[in-house]
Amino acid sequence: MEPGGIHLTAAFGYRVAMKISLDGGTATYRILAYSSGQIVVNDQTLTRSVVVMPEQVILDWPPQSFEELAAAHFAQLVNLCPEIILIGTGSKIRFPTPALLAPLYAAGIGAEVMDTGAACRTYNILMAEGRAVAVALLMI
Q: pLDDT per residue over 111-135, tens digit each?
A: 999 999 999 999 999 999 999 999 9
Number of domains forming the structure of the chain: 1
Q: Which domain does 32 fall in, by range?
A: 8-138
Which of 73, 71, 72 minimizes the C-alpha distance to 60?
73
Q: Give a yes or no: residue 3 inside a domain.
A: no
Residue 89 sits in a domain whose CATH number is: 3.40.1230.10
Contacts by 120-123, CB closer than 8 A, 24 or more apart: 120/18, 120/31, 120/34, 120/39, 120/88, 121/18, 122/86, 123/31, 123/52, 123/86
User: Tens digit of pLDDT for each residue in 58-102?
Assistant: 998 999 999 999 999 999 999 999 999 999 999 999 999 999 999
2 belongs to a structural domain: no
Contact between 125 and 24 under an 8 Å Cβ cutoff? The reply is no
Cβ atoms of 56 and 68 within 8 Å: the answer is: no
- Answer yes or no: is 68 within a domain: yes
pTM score, two decimals?
0.82
